[in-house]
Amino acid sequence: MKKILVIEDEAEMRRNLVTILRLEKFQPISAENGRIGLQLAQAERPDLVLCDLMMPELDGHGVLQGLRAGPETATIPFIFLTARGEKADQRNGMNLGADDYLTKPVAKDDLISAVRARLRRADEQQAPAAFNPDFSSREPLIKAGMTPRVAEVLLWVAQGKTNAEIATILSISESTVKKHVLEIFQVLGVETRSAATLRALEILHSSR
């Protein structure tokens, strides 16, 4: 049973999320603010974190930064829950390493779909311990023959981001992302996104 940490300062919203997750056969745990949530995440090592953005004591960005800074919590899938839907908020969250961004009030089906998708992607991306790609720089991808912007797109593709998410992160249109993905295929000599991802992971791993 997958353990899901819900960090939400509104009590009714927190109870609703916990109930929905429990009915879907997850194991929810909850925290009423970011400070407690970060401590709970470090102690419980949940399989995924659902976190509100605007909270007292420590906001969602602070929680995410705290998780990503710790080697034992750095790869936990993280979904923001917020009433604010501005693109700038999404960019900030994605650049800090968020995996998804849901605007409240979120429908039950959308919530569960996002949770299952991120858990499935995390399972798929688990690799042998010896395989450890470095996502901190696009330089190895540039050396493989790509322009800086195309390399930057591939860096996010390799981390499982969708075209829409990459467009938000880089402040470009989704059609431009699609164009860069086609360039990636051409440079790497591949025909699918999964093949491009695998090749990028190999390049990033060998650069460590």
Range ranked top by mean pLDDT from 26-35, 99-108, 114-123, 126-135? 26-35
3-125 CATH fold: Rossmann fold (3.40.50)
Q: For the chain, how far is it from start to end, CA to CA, in angstroms?
A: 34
Per-residue pLDDT, 134? 79
What are the residue ranges of CATH 1.10.10.10 in the chain?
139-206
Per-residue pLDDT, 195? 87
What are the residue ranges of CATH 3.40.50.2300 in the chain?
3-125
Q: Is the pLDDT of residue 129 over 50?
A: no
Mean pLDDT of 102-109: 86
Mean pLDDT of 77-92: 75
CATH 1.10.10.10 fits 139-206, yes or no: yes
Confidence of residue 89 (pLDDT cuts 50, 70, 90): low
Tens-digit pLDDT profile for residues 175-198: 999 999 999 999 999 888 888 988
Per-residue pLDDT, 87? 61
Tens-digit pLDDT profile for residues 18-57: 999 999 999 999 999 999 999 999 999 999 999 998 888 8
Q: Is the pLDDT of residue 85 over 70?
A: no
CA 30 vs. chain centroid, Å, equals 20
Indicate the pTM of the whole model: 0.66
**C-alpha–C-alpha distance, residues 102 and 90, integer Å:** 9
Sheet holding 100-103, edge to edge: 27-31, 3-7, 48-52, 78-82, 100-103
Q: Are 159 and 135 in contact (CB under 8 A)?
A: yes
Q: Is the pLDDT of residue 60 over 70?
A: yes
Per-residue pLDDT, 9? 93
Per-residue pLDDT, 38? 95
Tens-digit pLDDT profile for residues 153-179: 999 998 888 999 899 999 999 999 999
